[in-house]
Chain A
Amino acid sequence: GENVEQHPSTLSVQEGDSAVIKCTYSDSASNYFPWYKQELGKRPQLIIDIRSNVGEKKDQRIAVTLNKTAKHFSLHITETQPEDSAVYFCAASTWTGGYNKLIFGAGTRLAVHP
């Protein structure tokens, strides 16, 4: 079945630096890749997603890149701020034969230090 690997598991940066989180997936048929941010005690929030017909998508300080050939995608956060501190999850869609479901990476705990 589909497997999603996420690295690193923890990431510590100084405020203003960039942060990059990488994920690889196994199902070559996957075509939808969302990223979620989960703050302590809260539900995962969708922050950006990308579909397989594009290679990059940007939303203000957040960008996601997708390399379908290599089966990996990455989240880039520029000019990090303390409020970016959270756990980030990548996910990839996989077809079950009846519907699509998301498979999640293990998560990256990002700490942004002032």
Chain B
Amino acid sequence: SAVISQKPSRDICQRGTSLTIQCQVDSQVTMMFWYRQQPGQSLTLIATANQGSEATYESGFVIDKFPISRPNLTFSTLTVSNMSPEDSSIYLCSPGGGTSTDTQYFGPGTRLTVL
């Protein structure tokens, strides 16, 4: 499986600020999936990013709040904007091919705490 890294691994932020999370993969991948895992909860897909096109957002998530960049096939960023305590979660990236049988692995996650 691909080696996936995320930065930062954790952060504590003040409300109203923004944080950009980076995800790096050691091989080229078609799709980058971004998930949120709220404390004690399951994984919720935020959006899916394909290189060269705008990200596709899931219901309940908007681009102004979670802008995503996908400048190339090995890298992506997710920004959490204008943060509130409700944004305190673990954010995980997961590269994939977007086909029905692609195996998906997860990055180590970014643990975000908003005060």
Contact = CB atoms under 8 A, between A and B. Distances in A.
Interface of A: 31-32, 34, 36, 42-46, 49, 51, 89, 93, 95-96, 98-107
A41 B98 CA distance: 27
B52 to A, nearest CB: 14
B104 interface: yes
Contacts, number: 58
A24 to B, nearest CB: 15
Contact of A46 (B30, B41, B48, B104): B104
Given A43-B109, A89-B42, A107-B42, A99 B104 contact: no
A103 B45 CA distance: 8
Number of chain B interface residues as a range: 20 to 34
Contacts of A102: 33, 45, 104
A96 B100 contact: no
B95 interface: no
Contacts of A42: 108
B101 A46 contact: no
A44 B48 contact: no
Contacts of A98: 56, 98
B61 to A, nearest CB: 13
Q: Can you list the 4 inter-chain pairs with the closest CB atoms, starting with the nearest?
A: A99-B98, A43-B106, A100-B100, A104-B43
